[in-house]
Amino acid sequence: MGNKTKGLLALVGLGALAYWKYKNSSPEQKQMVKDKINNAKDNLNKWGNDLKDKANNVASQVQDKADEFKNKAQDTVNKAQETVG
């Protein structure tokens, strides 16, 4: 048996054990598990949104720099044309 198969079986075993424990737990314990899952989801969503915001900020900063360089280049071309003209 390969390592992947063993790992998969271990994962399935853990999942089955967790499910069995969940099925046999009290309503309060089930609610705690649900709350944990919801919290984890909220945190993941928040983290994802933070990443998106950061990516957008970086993208707009890059765009600003690109515009700045483009303007400088255009100014340089204009000055050169005036000098020649």
Per-residue model confidence as pLDDT tens for the chain (85 residues): 788 899 889 999 999 998 898 899 999 999 999 999 999 999 999 999 999 999 999 999 999 999 999 999 999 999 999 988 7
Q: How many domains does the chain have?
A: 1
Name the burial class of residue 43, with classes exposed (0-12), middle (13-18) and buried (19+) by CB atoms within 10 angstroms of its CB: exposed
The residue to which tokens 């900063």 are assigned: 61
pTM, rounded to two decimals: 0.47
Range(s) of the domain holding residue 32 = 2-84
The residue to which tokens 């999942």 are assigned: 15
The whole-number pLDDT of residue 84 equals 85
The whole-number pLDDT of residue 1 equals 78
* Gap between the Cα atoms of 66 and 44, Å rounded: 33
The whole-number pLDDT of residue 26 equals 95
Residue 12 DSSP one-character state: H
* Gap between the Cα atoms of 72 and 57, Å rounded: 23
The whole-number pLDDT of residue 41 equals 95
